[in-house]
Amino acid sequence: MRARELTADDLLPYQRLTRLAFGGGPVTEQEARPFSPGLIPLGISSADLPGGADGVIAAGAQIRRDRITLGGGTADCGGIGGVAVHPAHRAGGLFGELMTAVIARCATEGMAFSMLYPANVAIYRALGYQIVSQVQKVQVPLLDLQRLRPVPGTHLEAVTAQSFERVHALYRELTAGDNGMLTREGPLFPTGHPGGTWEAVLLVGEDGTDRGYLSFTRTGGEEGIGLEVHEVLGRTREDRLALLRSLGTWSTVTEQVRIRVRAEDPLLDALPGGRTRMDPQLQPWVMVRVIDTAAALSARPAPAGLEGTLRLVVTDDTVPAGTARAAGEFVVRIADGRVVVDLEGAADGSDVGGVSGSVHLDVHAAALLLIGGRSIADAERLGLGARADAPARALLDTLLSGPRPAVMDQF
């Protein structure tokens, strides 16, 4: 295999490749430094290819070490970014070769999923990635918010370096039950206040409990939008109303705010006016690939009271057999709030009785479903490969039910 892990010596050639592919200023020597510890950079040297040049990376990509939420559990997820092939080496199959190595590395790292924001959906679909969500932003006229009544028993506090951890703790707590949200840990997410133009206010209850927060950047007011709101998270509907009311105070200096929201965000249900509209900017798709079916399923807690066993057969003809751990015939046992997954035949056999039937999924249906919040009927509607016996269908659908997947961070 020609793909290899890139080292500090490859950083400048890799930066030249990504600037070439995506634009940006020239690469300067000062930028030479090791890759971030949160990233696994992979690439193919031009010199290893027929007629290739020394000191040039022909194809490169980075795998982020991320964790995502899975309805109360979490799983490791390889976030893919910076995928580029040098123009001298395009249209020769290097993309597929590189991405196959990326998928294999995600598997070696024990990741359950891989996630990316595609510039082109089809080329990633061919490798088993499936659209599961889309970044969503809405434009909200502030006149709609300005007349919201005060919510008694709460007050706002400015977020400083000292109080930033309270924002992070709220984010973790209030998105823990979601599907697909990054947990924002580890070296890729610094633990301190982001600084720069990032601002936030905390909503605090009378008893001192943190109830929610609103984070934003004040912008120049282009198109009448003076505030980019990164997120509005509150424990309850009342808390979200209190935060929206605080947004309404900006109505003297700007007409509208743009708010990044999750799929079916509860915030949308708290907006009082009827003039909210989807932001017309192109919003990226979110694609996910299952790397390890057993890890993806067992990371998720089972709903209380749900019990049963099903056979799950996942097929994956998008990458060579053995590249990932998505494909296989699994026995999925759900009991006592846990999901235990064994390869068929590898299960100890002690309690494999009572199997409620089988579910067959291709790798695309598996991605759509295992990230959570969707049903086998959704996979069928999209024309993905999915079929199931009735009791097994009900069991798997119940296990995977929950909020539709959403991701707020872009990479």
Ligand X SMILES: CC(C)(COP(=O)(O)OP(=O)(O)OC[C@H]1O[C@@H](n2cnc3c(N)ncnc32)[C@H](O)[C@@H]1OP(=O)(O)O)[C@@H](O)C(=O)NCCC(=O)NCCS
Site residues (vs ligand X, CB under 6 A): 21, 83-85, 90-96, 118-120, 123, 126
Q: To the nearest whole angstrom, how small is the minimum distance from the Cβ of residue 24 to ligand X?
A: 12
Pick 173 or 317: Cβ nearer ligand X? 317
Helix crossing, 363-370 with 390-400: angle to 10°? 50
Q: To the nearest whole angstrom, how small is the minimum distance from the Cβ of residue 17 to ligand X?
A: 8
Pick 50 or 274: Cβ nearer ligand X? 50
Pick 97 or 157: Cβ nearer ligand X? 97
Using left for φ > 0, alpha for ψ between -120 and 50, and beta otherwise, residue 221 falls in: left
Residue 247, classed as helix, strand or coil, is helix
Half-sphere exposure of 182 toward its Cβ, with a 13 Å CA cutoff? 20
Q: To the nearest whole angstrom, how small is the minimum distance from the Cβ of residue 82 to ligand X?
A: 8
Closest CA to 118 of 102, 103, 133, 138: 133
Q: 318 has which bridge partners? A: none
Q: To the nearest whole angstrom, how small is the minimum distance from the Cβ of residue 91 to ligand X?
A: 5
Pick 120 or 350: Cβ nearer ligand X? 120
Q: To the nearest whole angstrom, how small is the minimum distance from the Cβ of residue 264 to ligand X?
A: 26
Phi first, then psi: what are they for 350, rounded to 5°? Answer: -65, -40
Pick 81 or 186: Cβ nearer ligand X? 81
Pick 60 or 212: Cβ nearer ligand X? 60
Closest CA to 366 of 346, 347, 344, 388: 388
Tokens of 366: 């598996």
CA–CA separation, 182 vs 299, rounded Å? 15
CA–CA separation, 150 vs 73, rounded Å? 35
Q: To the nearest whole angstrom, how small is the minimum distance from the Cβ of residue 405 to ligand X?
A: 19
In the chain, the N- to C-terminal Cα span, in Å, equals 27
